[in-house]
Amino acid sequence: MLVPSSLFVAIVLCCGWMDVRASPITTASNTISRRADNYVRVPLYRREPSMPRLAQAVRSEEEVNDNTVMKTIRRRPKDLPLKDFTDAQYYGPFSIGSPPQTFQVIFDTGSSNIWIPGDACRSVACLIHHKFTPSSSSSFVQDGTPFEIQYGSGALEGVLGVDTVAFGHHTAPVHNFTFAMSTVERGLSWIVARFDGIVGLGFDEISVDKLPTLFGALAAEKSLPEPVISFFFGYEKTAKASQMILGGVDKDLVEPGHDFHWIDITVPGYWQIDVHGIDIGDFDACKSKKCPAIVDTGTSLVVGPPEEVREINRAIGATLNSGGAASFPSCEGLDDLPTLDVTISGRTFPLTPKEYVLKVTALGQTQCLSGFAGLETPQGLWILGDVFMRRYYTAFDYGNKQVGFARGRANPPPAAEAT
């Protein structure tokens, strides 16, 4: 018997707040490592997916569909309606100030600004998360310019400040960098989040108020061996090796016999590429044309136009439930479902049922959900989120304006783990 979605929602509302500041659920430590290859490895922690958070993400996307802010995707946005952090699953350490004040953040390739809670914020979300204290940093410079941003899952207001920012405790620092300190945070997603803030890794074109971007600053200061950041999301439950690598790609994290496939960015701003096929059974979601797609570490699922996603979910036997997520009648026999093939520039990246079915357990009951969700956008954009990147080690090359994919190693050697 499946737990009703309303009960799942009640679980998060009554219990989710209590574990917001809980320790990471994976076994990776909260330290940064630099080895002989000179790459910096930042451990990433995974929060297991939740039925109510996924359902809330779908509801947020539906609310955005009819919102006039969708029009802002065509220009430099004040709003980022594509972004929904309700079920963001991977986060890691980032520091601001001197001495460093460390926060848990989403490293988000789908946005371009940095914000963390400020000590002046009195919203519930701020009260139960770590806050930045400017007076404790000898390198802080007050800017005071108002800042606001609207995501699909919530909004925030704040003020700008200038300080040293760095990965982990104080790795690959960027000095005199402008970031935002929230003073008001609106939205349930900020309250139940395991992370404190967002570190955007997108391009200048989507930076709110045209603020400098972290990736651009890292490239300008030559802080890394190469202006490349790669993400390895371990898809096994313990996900010990989940990490972000600064400065390049680690070949030890690639499945033997496979290599990186590099694709040029088509529209700077988001990490947007052309996908040439999204096929399952006899259904081709791209209809023999190019599908524009964003590669986004801050999105949990594979997201696409609602009509096409409905066909994909129909092909795998998933239907929308009362909570708004696409689920299966039972978790039995799912291994026999068809494989979904994503074709990009001549190479096919298959996703098996093991990789696109999400299992969610609460009160001893398990429900199986589809890893595909619908979202209406003016350009008919797809979003390749964590469901795709858990199978494919993904690299973002700022210098060459490319994204690279390689089949991730299922059981990477200990030497490649973040420690």
Structure tokens at 166: 């760095």
Please choose, from the candidates 133, 135, 82, the residue with its C-alpha nearest in 3D space to the C-alpha of residue 109. 82
Catalytic residue among 84, 250, 279, 296: 296
- Write down the number of H helices and E strands in the chain: 8, 29
Q: Is 235:217 a contact under the CB 8 Å cutoff?
A: no
Q: Does residue 250 have an active-site annotation?
A: no
Give the chain's end-to-end CA distance (angstroms, integer). 41
Instruction: Please tell me the distance from the alpha carbon of residue 303 to that of residue 293, in angstroms, as a whole number.
Output: 9
Contact (Cβ atoms closer than 8 angstroms) between residue 261 and residue 404: yes
* DSSP H stretches of helix in 90-241: 124-127, 188-192, 214-220
Give the separation between CA 400 and CA 407, rounded to whole angstroms.
21
Tokens of 66: 């009819």
Pairing of strands 283-284, 141-151: unpaired
Neighbours of 4 (CB within 10 A): 14
Identify whether 274 is a catalytic site residue.
Answer: no
- List helix spans (H) across 88-241: 124-127, 188-192, 214-220
Q: Which of 108, 163, 250, 397 is catalytic?
A: 108
Tokens at 103, concatenated: 């926060």
What are the backbone dihedrals phi and psi of residue 167, each rounded to the nearest 5 degrees, phi first?
A: -80, 145
Give the residue from 75, 412, 41 showing the smallest Cα distance to 245.
41
CB 252 within 8 A of CB 241: no
Give me the DSSP letters along 110-165.
Answer: T---EEEEBTT--SHHHHTS--B-GGG-TT-EEEEEEEEEEETTEEEEEEEEEEEE
What the block records as the tokens of 388 is 């795709």
CA separation, residue 107 to residues 7, 213, 246, 257, 299 (Å)? 31, 13, 12, 29, 11
Q: Is the Cβ–Cβ distance between 128 and 221 less than 8 Å?
A: no
Distances (CA, A) of 138 to 98, 104, 142, 249, 405: 6, 22, 12, 35, 41
Catalytic residues: 108, 296
